[in-house]
Amino acid sequence: MKTILVVDDDEAIRTLLKEELEDEGYQVLMATNARDALKAVEQEPLDLVILDIRMPGMDGLEALPRILGLKEGLPVILNTAYTQYQESFMSWAADAYVVKSSDLTELKDKIKELTQT
C-alpha cells in the first residue's frame, strides 16, 4: 500500500483528503504544519507528499526544498487555493501543482501518475 503525507493547516481539507484517499486504497498520514511534515518525512517511509503552501510558520515553498533535501526523489504535489505561486521559481521543484478544488479528479490523477513505479 502506498503511503501519502497530507500537509495542510486546514482541518477540513485534511479530513476530506484522508477520507477520499483512503477510499482509493492509500494509507494517509497527516501533518498540520511544515515542521511536523519535515519530521514525518524524516521518520516515515512515504511514497508521496501533498503540500499546502500558505501555512503559518514555515510555508510550503520553504518546506519543499527541505523535503527534497531529506528524501531525494520523493514526489511532492503542491496543493493550494492560489494560482500565483505557480510563477515562483520555488514552486518549480514540485512534481505537480494542483489548485484546490472540490473536484479531486486532477489531484487523484497526479497521485496515481506519481506513485506508479
Residues in contact with another protein by CB under 8 A are 65-66, 68-69, 72-73, 88-90, 92-93
Residue 93 DSSP class? G
How far from the centroid of its chain's Cα atoms is residue 13's Cα? 12
Residue (65 or 101) nearer to another protein, CB: 65
User: Could you count the other beta carbons within 10 Å of the beta carbon of residue 35?
Assistant: 14
Residue (50 or 94) nearer to another protein, CB: 94
Instruction: Give me the least distance between CB of 58 and another protein, in Å please.
Output: 11
Helix, strand, or coil (residue 7): strand
Instruction: Give me the least distance between CB of 112 and another protein, in Å please.
Output: 20
Instruction: Give me the least distance between CB of 87 and another protein, in Å please.
Output: 9
Alpha helix locations (H) across 1-117? Answer: 11-23, 34-43, 60-70, 105-115
d(CA 33, CA 10): 10
Residue (16 or 74) nearer to another protein, CB: 74
Instruction: Give me the least distance between CB of 61 and another protein, in Å please.
Output: 9
* Contact assessment for residue 32 and residue 6, using Cβ atoms and an 8 Å cutoff: no
Residue (28 or 60) nearer to another protein, CB: 60
